């Protein structure tokens, strides 16, 4: 009897264990099936979204035309701005195209509603700082859009109001930073827009802001304002055709100070890069213009900057050096005295940036194209 009892107990335990393992296995299989079904549903949702977005890609213009004049459709577009922002950051070109088209339509809708004059009006003195801040931000966003949008901003008198804000004595640095960026965005639309912005005397308050913030501790405390002003100054100095030298001549003392900022890395490096870009454009002129730009101190700094690892700064300096090589012998001699050939040779020997190497060869080619003596100089310093 005892043996029978023990045997029956063992059999029951074995059966219970078998059923438990079978139940656990079945549970695992059900969970696996659920995950598979969820994966299938996710794929289906992505496919539906993909086909919907691609349909919008081919019919976006018609969708925008249908939405024009329909307040409900326009409101739905405004509600889907977060989705459009996500599409812009995606790697899908069709999503980006549709989002760009829709956002452009919404922006044009805002402009056509007649809000721009009100934004400009809010820049008057009787309105508070927050009114001005948000108005400048809105005008900046509109002005850096299409050429037509920039025309609307200019037509309603935004430039004189911007200049007034730059000249105000209040220490509203964030506002002045936005104003400087807004002026730069308008000037970047075309050389004609740039010259039009300069006609209002924009350069004077911009240079004053730079001059007042180039010394510590203001240099580091207000570096964002300094960066915005230097970027706008770079926009004023470039273009095809470049502005007349007389328009930019007053910026030369500031440019000489900007290229001497240390250390030329980070945001300070970006300010230095803007200054080097300005010099590269302004040195592309007559020998008299080059002479006004350079002196022994400037040339020494340019040669030193050729040793940086920052490719952008080096590229701008190389263009400036190439322009100086087009000048007279005395101007070239200043660069030689400061060791420019050793820097150029070091770039040729150890440089890995293809764009920098190309501009180095271009600068050397400009020098050796002058006469046989310069060819001999190139051979002596090992360029061959």
Q: Give residue 299's region: left, alpha or beta (phi > 0; psi -120 to 50).
A: alpha
Distance CA 346, CA 356 (A): 12
Query: What are the φ/ψ torsions at residue 369 (nearest 5 degrees)?
Result: -80, -5
Same CATH fold, 248-383 and 64-243? Answer: yes
DSSP string, 99-153: HHHHHHHHHHHHHHTT-HHHHHHTTSTTS-HHHHHHHHHHHHHHHTS-HHHHHHH
pTM of the model: 0.76
Beta strands in the chain (DSSP E): none
Domain coordinates in residue numbering, the chain:
64-243, 248-383
Full pLDDT tens readout for the chain, 384 residues:
444 444 554 555 554 554 556 656 666 777 777 677 776 677 666 655 655 555 554 456 666 666 666 677 777 777 877 887 887 787 777 777 777 777 777 777 777 778 888 889 989 888 888 889 999 988 998 888 788 888 999 999 999 999 999 988 777 888 999 999 999 999 999 999 999 999 999 999 999 999 988 877 777 778 889 999 999 999 999 888 888 888 888 999 999 999 999 888 888 999 999 999 999 998 888 888 888 888 888 999 999 999 888 789 999 999 999 999 888 888 888 888 888 888 988 888 887 788 888 998 888 888 877 766 766 766 666 665
The residue whose two tokens read 């023990």 is 6
Domain 248-383 has CATH 1.25.10.10: yes
The CATH number of domain 64-243 is 1.25.10.10 = yes
- Please check whether residue 384 is in contact with residue 373, taking contact to mean a CB–CB distance below 8 angstroms: no
Give 342's contacts (C-beta < 8 A, 6+ positions apart): 381
């Amino acid at each position: 009897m005892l043996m029978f009892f023990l045997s029956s107990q063992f059999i029951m335990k074995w059966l219970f264990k078998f059923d438990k393992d079978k139940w656990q296995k079945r549970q695992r299989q059900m969970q696996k099936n659920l995950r598979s079904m969820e994966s299938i549903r996710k794929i289906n949702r992505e496919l539906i979204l993909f086909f919907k977005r691609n349909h919008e890609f081919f019919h976006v213009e018609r969708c925008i035309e249908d939405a024009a004049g329909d307040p409900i459709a326009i409101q739905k577009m405004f509600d889907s701005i977060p989705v459009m922002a996500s599409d812009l950051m995606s790697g899908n070109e069709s999503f980006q195209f549709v989002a760009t088209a829709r956002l452009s339509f919404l922006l044009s809708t805002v402009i056509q509603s007649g809000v721009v004059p009100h934004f400009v009006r809010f820049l008057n003195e009787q309105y508070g700082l927050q009114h001005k801040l948000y108005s400048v931000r809105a005008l900046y966003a509109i002005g850096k859009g299409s050429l037509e949008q920039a025309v609307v901003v200019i037509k309603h008198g935004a430039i004189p109001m911007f200049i007034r804000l730059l000249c105000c004595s209040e220490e509203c640095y964030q506002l002045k930073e936005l104003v400087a960026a807004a002026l730069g965005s308008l000037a970047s639309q075309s050389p004609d827009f740039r010259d039009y912005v300069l006609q209002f005397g924009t350069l004077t308050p911009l240079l004053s802001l730079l001059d007042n913030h180039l010394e510590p501790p203001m240099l580091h405390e207000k570096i964002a304002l300094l960066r915005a002003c230097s970027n706008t100054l770079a926009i004023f100095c470039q273009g095809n055709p470049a502005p007349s030298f007389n328009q930019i001549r007053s910026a030369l003392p500031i440019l000489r100070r900007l290229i001497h900022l240390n250390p030329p890395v980070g945001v300070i490096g970006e300010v230095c890069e803007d200054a080097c870009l300005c010099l590269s454009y302004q040195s592309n002129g007559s020998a008299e213009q080059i002479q006004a730009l350079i002196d022994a101190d400037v040339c020494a700094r340019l040669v030193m900057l050729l040793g940086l690892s920052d490719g952008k700064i080096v590229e701008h300096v190389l263009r400036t050096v190439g322009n100086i090589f087009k000048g007279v012998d005395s101007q070239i001699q200043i660069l030689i005295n400061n060791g420019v050939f050793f820097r150029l040779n070091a770039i040729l020997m150890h440089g890995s940036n293809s764009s920098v190497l190309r501009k180095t060869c271009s600068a050397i080619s400009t020098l050796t194209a002058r006469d046989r003596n310069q060819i001999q100089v190139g051979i002596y310093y090992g360029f061959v």
